[in-house]
Amino acid sequence: MKKRKYISSGIDGLDALTTGFIIGDNVVWEIDSGASPNHFVNHFIRQTIVDDQKIIYVCFNKSPASILQKIEGGKSRNLILLDCFTSGKGKDDKTFRDFYKKNKKANLIRVEKPSDIDGFINLLNSIEDKQPSGTRYVFDSLTGMQDLWGGEEQTYKFFTYMCPRLYDLETVAFWLLEKNAHSEKFKANVRHITQVVIDLYKRSDQMFLRALKLEGRGDREAFKSHSYQIANGDIVVLPLKKDARLEIGTKLREARINIGMNQKELAERVGLTASFISQLERNQISPSLNSFVLICGAIGISPKEIWEKMSPKKVPWLRRKEDLLSSIVLKDDGNVVSNLFTKGDCAGDICFLSPGEVFNVSTSGGKGTHFAYLISGKATVSVGGSSVNVSEGDSLFLNDGQPSVWKNSNSERAQLLLIKM
């Protein structure tokens, strides 16, 4: 069996949910009104450049000028911009065409007739043939393709051709679509073919993401809605607050299996449908109190026992990863801090230093001690006017109340263990 190869999305929280993207993944982003995929695309492009891979950005919905202004790495030779906008939705407007005169050194390819689907495919394939293995892709809009090509059928035919091709080429490709611009049939067909589907939506000024499909992964946490925050271009995916009610179906399923009873038999005993039992055990629905008591009785377990199983015992001296994630704070400067412990004047934190950002460490009133250990990444630390480059495994200990200033000058986030006393 061929071993799977994973790559990073460029976003730690998204990688934690999806285990990263598998080589061959076509990743469809379904975007609700009010939500934006730009930061996710930007991080993907930046990560691709960090990985020293080529990336082809195919634009249908936006002009090259607006894209290059917004995405990091726009001037990188690793980025190829395939422009289907200027002679498509842009209608060969002089303003868009003049952009090429001012940007002759940019890696731009204008598609002269993007409405010609066969011609576009031939051009795209010829560009692919000239690129090294591992080249990645962003198709900025299935919706834009649909508008230009006159309907869903042509867009779907293109997707059914290109998606398996990119899978065989062992690349990773982003496909963006506006959720409300497509029929349910179209979206269902796309989900069936692709490997990954991620839903982005906004509710009451809060942004959420969830996976609708993750081929080859088993972690169902990704299928639950996770809120996320954006600061200085950085994305932090917030952890779910564990609610025992959401896991009740899992415990009932375990109890049923332990006595060798199938779902149909249980449904008949309690007067419910097998479909209801199936959805309950997958935590898609919650039972009424009466149904819960009936099910417990049918499988020979007390409701109290179920609740006790769902309440893990706390170990006073142990800090779980989930507890650490729940204490994450997103700073205004884009850095992320998670508190490990606080006891009197002593506190321990994990600090995530964003690329290009500065993190100031000071002790209260200019007194006290602090210890810092760089867990991963590289940084420059300044103390008392002196600056030193530090890397993974380096540490400092200051006991005279001096502050330290950390700057991450690299393209990847650094992690710092900080203990103040």
- How far is it, in rounded angstroms, from Cα 62 to Cα 272? 52
Domain boundary among 205, 221, 237: 237
Same domain for 51 and 13: yes
Same domain for 262 and 231: no
Same domain for 175 and 90: yes
| 315 domain-assigned | no
Q: Coil, strand or helix: which one is 10? A: coil
| 1 domain-assigned | no
Same domain for 330 and 397: yes
Q: What is the pLDDT along the chain (421 residues), one digit of tens a residue?
A: 456 788 989 888 888 888 889 999 999 999 998 898 999 999 999 999 989 999 999 999 999 888 888 776 566 788 999 999 999 999 999 999 888 887 766 688 999 999 999 999 999 999 998 988 889 999 999 999 999 999 899 999 999 999 999 999 999 999 999 999 999 999 999 999 999 999 999 887 889 999 999 988 766 678 888 888 887 778 888 776 554 445 788 888 888 999 999 999 999 998 888 888 887 887 766 676 667 878 988 998 887 777 666 555 667 777 766 566 555 565 555 567 777 888 888 888 888 787 778 888 875 444 578 888 988 888 899 988 889 999 889 999 887 778 888 888 777 778 888 888 8
Same domain for 256 and 169: no
Number of domains present in the structure of the chain? 3
Neighbours of 93 (CB within 10 A): 12
Q: Which helix (H) or strand (E) holds 183?
A: none
User: Which CATH number does the domain housing residue 401 bear?
Assistant: 2.60.120.10
Q: Which helix (H) or strand (E) holds 128?
A: helix 117-129
| 316 domain-assigned | no
Closest CA to 48 of 193, 171, 216: 171
Same domain for 96 and 178: yes
Instruction: For residue 405, give its domain range.
Output: 321-420
Same domain for 254 and 232: no
| 314 domain-assigned | no
User: Which CATH number does the domain housing residue 295 bear?
Assistant: 1.10.260.40
* Encoded amino acid at 82, one letter: L
| 206 domain-assigned | yes
DSSP code per residue over 55-95: EEEEESSS-HHHHHHHSTTTT-TTEEEEE-STTTTTTT-HH
Check: CB of residue 184 under 8 Å from CB of residue 30.
Answer: no
Crossing angle (nearest 10°) for helices 248-258 and 274-281: 120
Indicate whether this model's pTM tops 0.85: no
Check: CB of residue 278 under 8 Å from CB of residue 266.
Answer: no
